[in-house]
Chain A
Amino acid sequence: MTALTNNIAAKLGSLTVALRDLADPADRESYAIDGFIPGAVARPSTTEEAAEIVRFAAKDKLAVVPVGACTKLSIGATPARYDIALDMSAISQISHYDPADLTVSVEGGMPLATLNATLREHNQFLPLLVPFYSQATVAGTIASGIDSPLRQAYGTARDFLLGAEFIDGTGALVKSGGRVVKNVTGYDLHKLLVGSLGTLGVITRLNFRTFPAPLTPRGFLASFPSQEAALNARRAVAGSPLSPLTLDVINPRAARIFSERTPCMAEVSVFAGESGQTGEGPLPLPGEWFHPRHWQLCAAFAGVPEVLDRYVRDLTRVAERYGATSITILDDATRPSIWGRLREALALFRESSPFAVVLKLSLLPSVHAQAITVLESVGNAAKLLPALIARASGTLYIALLPDTVEDFSIEGLALMTQEIISLSHRFDGRASLLFAPPTIKHLLESALNTHPHADLTLMQRVKSAFDPQNIFSPGRLFSNPPWG
């Protein structure tokens, strides 16, 4: 332990806060970000304790990274400084749940799966089925800004987050929004927390609109011999009277990973009519659904029997029109294996290569076909075909998954990543790097923090308003000066 960490530990020890055993390096290691181990770990049991730690850190300008279950800490840049990991997982109660109003107020450290288990008792749910689902905390999910396949029907967190309470960079406990589904009362500061990667505040409480759990959810899977056919079918469904819950196209490389890998966590059942937790074992993928050269269209829908019939009929008609070679309707028994994989896709990608680079591109759906063609030619040239998930909402997930970097240097991988980032700009989109080896993150710092059409000055001012001393997760979101 360095002198600095000893010092932090001693000072933190004088606070009234319950601390992890600071002497045990293994404990601090579990909070590492890209190999960067924090000087100390604090695990407050109340919001006031957490605020006290922030005030202490603000006084000494110590860098604080708020963490939940530590499942998505590698999203974002490597922190420039990392003095204290502020583990918020012990502050995890439901503060208020009014099932009749379909609203819930929950402390940030609560695991999503636990929250959904409570909501399920009232046939409700929160449509945030995100990677690392069974461990991820509510606040961590919001701070990571990660989306869910269900955004097709329910939007992203910003659409159903009604309000928040958080600790700002001065150590003050503040709030915005409210607990009601419609509200124009002061600035919607809570929207800024979505995707902020812990750079604006320590989230202590989140208020959500909840949703009725879909009645008898079903899945639809169609295999197409080309990306063009699959994307055309996706467009036809998106422009039809149907409102599917999810609508994604996955490429052959992603399909192969789905067929080779099983989510390590079973899907925690969140919908009506399901028997509950399906166990901790892996989810087998029955049949030969994922053809190695085929593009898959995955959709989900729900409703009364007449509605289900209509979806099956219309989806089948569209799939056949675009030359689907196989069509599968997924029921309660088979659906979780696909949904589990779609939900955990980013986790599966990351674990399938020690050098995984996973990017999120935000593009208009109409340019997907063109962008994917370019991506594939870039991949062909480099002999590294990317795994792709193309949501109808426009989000395009791209994973570069080399088996080794022996014949594929880190520099080569960085170059390819860089090329993808410029590609997103060419299509008037935005790119964010979700997972990458730390060396690649460092090589790409400047590329990630610039955008031909984005002005970072305002962002920087907002960051300073929330966190005047720059103590929260410095360097995680912006690595350029003055953020270091």
Chain B
Amino acid sequence: MTQVFIRELKKLLGPSEVLNLPEDVLLYEYDGSVEKGRSDIVAFPRSTDEVSCIVALAVQHQVPIVGRGAGTGLSGGALARRGGLIIAFTRMNRILDLDFENQRAVVQPGVVNLDLTRAVEHAGLYFAPDPSSQKSCTIGGNVAENAGGPHTLAYGVTTNHVTALELVLPDGQIVRIGNKQGDAFLYDLTGLLVGSEGTLALITEITVKLSRKQEAVRTLLAVFDAIDNASETVADITARGITPAACEMLDGWTLRVIEDYIHAGFPLDSAAVLLIEVEGITEAVIGQAATIDEICRIHHAREVRVARDDKERDLLWRGRKNAFGALGRVAAGIYVLDGVIPRSKLPQTLRRIKEIGDQFGFRIGNIFHAGDGNLHPIVLYDPRDTEQFERALKASAEIIRYCVEVGGSLSGEHGIGMEKSELMPLLFSDADFDLMRRVHDTMNPACSLNPGKVFPLNKGCGEIRIRPPVPEALAHR
């Protein structure tokens, strides 16, 4: 890192908006994943113009750039794999426009997901994507990784809720794509940018759809003595054409750990529970809840509870949304995997995950979005034990391979980042990578933005390397 660059950056933003001491940038070495990547410098712009100037300056000095929100990502997407500059969007956190009639909001990328919902709930509206980290994750990060959450089953993931973006390209140019209404003009570039994991452009402004809060909601907790019965229930609900707002599964072992911490009222002796929510007009919800109750009982649910009020409902959801925190109490390291399978393959996949756990010597917990086949197996390990960590990564790769084998994919909502870049060839051919490369180069030709992500390293671009990459366990498995 040249001192000239740092000096000019500080001149541009002010010294308090730039971090470059090793002890300061160390905090940006992590995200929510098991990956690491140290940046040399972190900058905190407050406006699009500042972002544009920073980008132009960094490119001029051949410094790689990584955009970052709250750092809650789970695939290493916001880590500086090649060192260089992190542009942290946490101070670009203003809601710029709220349009209740058209159900749109225009926000800066650093706005926290739940803060947007809080700003509009008085009008009966909310922002639908609801990742577990929604209290802290930013909408910019949600857009980069196309974030999901429990309620995306009925309402869609982030890409279904974004209608326009403002971008800063590596040459510093500011470009607007999409429009507030949402129908693409010529090519749907917005659709391309959402989920591109910061490898095409930096996103400086986001127009999102706001959803209308439903009139009625029923939250059911179905308790099972066998995990197969729970997964068959999910497959049956899907096959019968019922789309709950959310359909989450927690296995017995996981829910006992959570219950110990949250006291959500999960039954301690069960093999699995399903947390199912239906929403809509009152008349529709009553019927759907009754049908789901019936399906659960056909599949030998021991008990089906219905949350009596908002308090009970919130408690059940608190158990689900704080699961990862609860698990953190029982192990030094938790590795949350993200795989996705056809929903019809749920029972066999859960059995295979158990086998893989046995084979590699891990107790693998499962807590996941069962309704859309998005698995989150959880491997508890000790990060200080290198051998155990390597073994955890191997078990993870084995599970993801199985997901692909049954017709699934590498990631449902966490993204590829640096965690799974080397697994990409499981799904994509050289020709696929070639086209993805060419599309990448339309915006980020010199790989100035987020180098070393999404693409396998041997198919990466002529990256700017300011120092040799740190060894990454996943890169070599």
Contacts and interface: CB of A to CB of B under 8 A. Distances in A.
B414 interface: yes
B11 to A, nearest CB: 30
A428 B164 CA distance: 13
Interface in A149-179: 155-156, 158-159, 168, 170, 172-176, 178-179
Interface string B391-416: 00000000000000001111111111
Contacts of B263: none
30 contacts: A100-B235, A101-B342, A101-B344, A158-B188, A174-B435, A175-B429, A176-B432, A178-B408, A180-B407, A182-B152, A182-B157, A182-B372, A182-B412, A184-B197, A184-B412, A186-B432, A189-B435, A189-B439, A195-B188, A212-B242, A241-B212, A241-B215, A310-B282, A454-B176, A459-B187, A462-B439, A463-B187, A466-B439, A468-B438, A477-B186
Nearest to B424: A186
A294 to B, nearest CB: 25
B241 A124 contact: yes
Interface string A199-211: 0100000000001
Given A100-B343, A194-B184, A430-B183, A182 B413 contact: yes
Chain A interface size, under 10 / 10 to 19 / 20 to 34 / 35 or more: 35 or more
Given A185-B416, A454-B185, A155 B191 contact: no
Contacts of A465: 435, 438-439, 441-442
Interface string B332-358: 000000001111110000000000000
Contacts of B280: 243
A239 B160 contact: no
A3 interface: no
Nearest to A210: B241
Given A180-B373, A180-B407, A213-B241, A394 B192 contact: no
Interface string A429-470: 110100000000000000000010111101101111110100
A102 to B, nearest CB: 6
Of A189, A191, A477, chain B has the most CB atoms within 10 Å of the CB of A191
Contacts of B195: 184, 187-188
Contacts of B192: 187-189, 191-192, 462
B127 to A, nearest CB: 16
Contacts of B438: 465-466, 468
B87 interface: no
Interface of A: 96, 98-103, 123-124, 145, 147, 155-156, 158-159, 168, 170, 172-176, 178-189, 191-192, 194-196, 200, 211-213, 235, 239, 241-243, 303-304, 306-307, 309-310, 360, 362-366, 393-395, 428-430, 432, 451, 453-456, 458-459, 461-466, 468, 477-478
Given A158-B188, A189-B435, A195-B184, A458 B443 contact: yes
A461 to B, nearest CB: 4
Given A187-B436, A188-B195, A191-B188, A182 B148 contact: yes
Contacts of A185: 409-411, 416, 424, 427
Contact of B179 (A180, A429, A432, A455): A429
Contacts of A429: 179, 181
Given A100-B239, A363-B181, A168 B435 contact: yes
Nearest to B288: A304
Interface string B42-65: 000000000000000000000000
Nearest to A166: B435
B338 to A, nearest CB: 8
Contacts of A464: 442
Contacts of B427: 178, 185-186
A101 B410 contact: no
Contacts of B238: 100-102
A99 B284 contact: no
Nearest to B152: A182
Interface string B217-253: 0000000000000000001001111110000000000
B133 to A, nearest CB: 15
Interface of B: 99, 101-102, 104, 145-146, 148, 152, 156-157, 159-160, 175-177, 179-189, 191-192, 194-197, 212, 214-215, 235, 238-243, 280-284, 286-287, 340-345, 369, 372-374, 407-416, 424, 427-429, 431-432, 434-436, 438-443, 454
B408 A180 contact: yes
Given A184-B412, A456-B186, 8 more contacts: A98-B407, A147-B183, A159-B160, A176-B432, A178-B340, A178-B409, A430-B181, A455-B175
A184 B411 contact: yes
B74 to A, nearest CB: 11
A468 to B, nearest CB: 8
A188 B235 contact: no
A185 B341 CA distance: 13
Contacts of A101: 238, 342-345, 373
B158 to A, nearest CB: 9
Contacts of B283: 303-304, 306-307, 309-310
Contacts of B187: 192, 195-196, 200, 459, 462-463
Contact of B186 (A147, A159, A195, A310): A195
Contact of A428 (B160, B179, B342): B179
Contacts of B159: 188, 191
Contact of A458 (B102, B189, B287): B189
A264 B455 CA distance: 50
Nearest to A96: B407
A360 B181 CA distance: 13
B281 A179 contact: no
A183 B280 CA distance: 26
A153 to B, nearest CB: 11
Contacts of A463: 187
A396 B152 CA distance: 28
Contacts of B214: 241
A239 B282 CA distance: 16
A191 B372 contact: no
B194 A365 contact: no
Given A155-B160, A394-B181, A453 B176 contact: yes
A189 B188 CA distance: 9
Contacts of B440: 187
- B176, B177, B283: residue with the most chain A Cβ atoms closer than 10 Å: B283
B101 A98 contact: no
B180 A123 contact: no
Contact of A180 (B215, B340, B443): B340
A102 B407 CA distance: 13
Given A155-B156, A189-B436, A184 B431 contact: no
Contact of B239 (A99, A176, A456): A99
Given A180-B341, A192-B191, A458-B189, A212 B241 contact: yes
Contact of A362 (B182, B194, B239): B182
Nearest to A306: B283
B415 to A, nearest CB: 5
B164 to A, nearest CB: 10
A461 B415 contact: no
A186 B239 CA distance: 28
A389 to B, nearest CB: 14
Contacts of B374: 182
Given A180-B412, A458-B189, A364 B180 contact: yes
A307 B287 contact: yes
Contact of B189 (A183, A310, A459): A459
Contacts of A191: 159, 188, 191-192
A216 to B, nearest CB: 13
Contacts of B191: 158, 188, 191-192, 194
A303 B280 CA distance: 12
Contacts of B196: 187
Nearest to A243: B280
B342 A180 contact: yes
A123 B408 CA distance: 24
B241 A186 contact: no
Contacts of A178: 340, 408-409, 427
